[in-house]
Structure 1
Amino acid sequence: MGVPASLALRVLVGPAAFALVRAAPLPGLAPDAHFAVCVLAWILAWWVATPVPWAVTSFLPFVLLPLGQVMSVADVAAGYGQTMLPHLLGVMLFGYAFQKHGLARRFALAALCVPGVARSGSGLILIIMIVSAVLSAVVSDLAVIVMMTPIALSITRSVADGATRMAAAASLAVLLGAAAGGLATPAGIVFNAVAISLLEQLTGHSVSFAQWMSTGVILAAAHLPVCHLVLKFMLPPEVRSMPNGRARVLEERAQRGPLGRGEKNVLFVLVL
């Protein structure tokens, strides 16, 4: 059985990007740097075309850089063994467990059950943003967006069916809340861990979790009210008052029942 033409074309996109950048004059770049840029072009092309999984593409430098005599195999392998990588893997696995066992939805419902929160459209948008920010402080922001967007839309439809502008605001509240919460801790955004690792390599100065939070939490807290005001101005909720909103949320929360074993295990890991 032959290789499908579409797959073959997507595979060739990478080498073509490499050859194109290799042929392009890049004055001021050393030969090794030029070769590294070519490898980057190949990686980006394959990430976009996805002829192979992203994880496979990520190992291209391990093959190409030694072949181009830019770095030795040992030096490239050392880059894959940086201390930040287990941290990033742990954050992603934790986010998957959080999503699989439904803890994000339980947290969102618990926050919405606070008296007065689910009685107005503006309050609902604010609490969705806050929950997204809190989750994003301990789980990757991308995972939070994937988890919270359907939850926010579902809750919005249940308390204010047909409010399209409010649904759009809820989706944006998840995005903005996750972005703000990602600043609070090193675990919030992947780039936080990358920045800490590079800072330690280049300057020898390490930043602890608590040191990052001493500034990150303040920045995150300052972002939230500003983002909420922007959403309130650009997408004012159609429903100003929801007298039965909390009752509906309480009903949905009751349907979930007590914490399951999987949820308890994830919470135990979070506490650790």
Structure 2
Amino acid sequence: MTDPDDDLNNSSIILDNSGSAFNLAKRIGFFAGPLGALLMILGGYGFGVDGDGGISTPALHTLALAWWMACWWLTEAVPIAVTAILPIVLLPLLGISPIKAATAPYAHPLVFLFMGGFIIGIAMQRHQLHRRIALHIVDRAGHSDVLLVGGVMLAAAFLSMWIMNTATCMMLLPIGIALIDYQQSRGVDGQQLRNFSLCLLLGIAYGATLGGVATLIGTAPNGFIAAFMLETYGLEISFLQWLQVGLPISVLLLVATWLLLTQVVYPPRVKGGMGESGYIHSELESLGTMSGAEKIVAAVFVSAATLWVTRGTISDWFPALQ
């Protein structure tokens, strides 16, 4: 038998080595970004720019800037926020665009929409409102294996409509693991436990992904599509318009995925869920009654969601708010 201390030391060595490798990658990326951009610009001038069939100077500079930002983003050589503001400094300096045009996208209305959603999401996480919502949904879903998976998926989808998918998964993962541990403590093992575990964990991931489709702030690509449609075709997609299309698609795909997971791919066939053990109730009791801060966050969340959905009607009533 191996000594546990040896295993711990070996694990520490692995972690230290991976940390050293990561730091080395950061150092390489820090210099590879600007040096690669400089070499790209000098090489472009060497081969000639603005000639027949050649690349234009602004395009060459833009390509070099893209390389610089890609290196810093991939290696995290500097904080991501620092990389994100490089265009504000370098676009004017490289003659790609004036500073007014370079800074305009940072004040796009969708940026503030996402910022508001992120702030509300952070507040929900800080005061455990998202956990309370998830536990209530799972508690009311039912105690059979299939309904339990559906409840977890529904909780993931609902939360991902308003907060980041990754944050939703990280919050629901401990609940999912507790459900799996409970089934194992009941003597469930073998293929039944494997299928139940896979159903539950995949359900969390798929539920969060599909829930993000439902709203404009559910995931970043939704905002990119809305911005592209506005800038390219002059078509503004409101929160309600996106919801009218995204929510039905999200619900249909969620139900289809739930049925596919529980009936075809990994049918759990386990009777009795976490609700019977009192786990969900005990978790809700541990949260206690809603605190004042939690009530305020809930009120802000409901108010913001209502205003997002009714923005078109409010704009008709008060044209100055458009």
User: How would you bin the TM-score normalised by the shorter chain?
Assistant: 0.7 to 0.9
Greater CA drift, 27-36 or 190-199? 27-36
- Distance in 1 between residues matched to 2:273 and 2:239, nearest whole Å: 42
In the TM superposition, residue 177 of structure 1 has moved relative to its aligned partner by 0.9
In the TM superposition, residue 208 of structure 1 has moved relative to its aligned partner by 1.5
Greater CA drift, 171-180 or 49-58? 171-180
Contact 1:92–1:143 (8 Å) recurs in 2: no
- Distance in 1 between residues matched to 2:245 and 2:89, nearest whole Å: 40
Structure richer in helix, relative to its length: 2
- Distance in 1 between residues matched to 2:266 and 2:40, nearest whole Å: 44
Contact 1:138–1:188 (8 Å) recurs in 2: yes
- Distance in 2 between residues matched to 1:169 and 1:243, nearest whole Å: 14
Q: Normalised by the size of structure 2, how large is the TM-score?
A: 0.74
Q: 1:223 to 1:17 in 2, by over 3 A?
A: farther
Q: Name the residue aligned to 2:107.
A: 81
Q: Normalised by the size of structure 1, how large is the TM-score?
A: 0.86
Is residue 43 of structure 1 aligned with residue 62 of structure 2?
A: no
Deviations 1:4-40 (A, max 9, x none): x835433112124424655478977533223212211
Deviations 1:166-221 (A, max 9, x none): 33432221221111111111111112122212222222221111111111111001
Q: 1:34 to 1:150 in 2, by over 3 A?
A: farther
How many matched pairs? 265
Q: Name the residue aligned to 1:133.
A: 157
State the AA in 1 paired with 2:29.
R
State the AA in 1 paired with 2:175.
I
State the AA in 2 paired with 1:121.
D
Deviations 1:88-142 (A, max 9, x none): 111112111111211222112111222xx34222221111111111111122323
Bigger radius of gyration, 1 or 2? 2
Q: 1:30 to 1:121 in 2, by over 3 A?
A: farther
- Distance in 2 between residues matched to 1:160 and 1:131, nearest whole Å: 23
Contact 1:13–1:49 (8 Å) recurs in 2: no
Contact 1:95–1:139 (8 Å) recurs in 2: yes
Structure number with greater CO (CA < 8 Å, separation at least 6) is: 1
- Distance in 1 between residues matched to 2:199 and 2:111, nearest whole Å: 35
Contact 1:133–1:180 (8 Å) recurs in 2: yes
Contact 1:97–1:266 (8 Å) recurs in 2: yes
- In structure 2, stretches of 5+ residues that fail to align are 1-22, 304-322
- Distance in 1 between residues matched to 2:91 and 2:257, nearest whole Å: 44
Q: 1:48 to 1:243 in 2, by over 3 A?
A: closer
Q: Name the residue aligned to 1:56.
A: 82
Q: Name the residue aligned to 1:172.
A: 202
- Distance in 1 between residues matched to 2:35 and 2:173, nearest whole Å: 38
- Distance in 1 between residues matched to 2:284 and 2:98, nearest whole Å: 56
SS in 2 for 1:119: coil
2:124 to 79, 98, 104: 98
Q: Name the residue aligned to 1:236.
A: 267
Deviations 1:233-272 (A, max 9, x none): 33333x6101663442223323322112222111011111
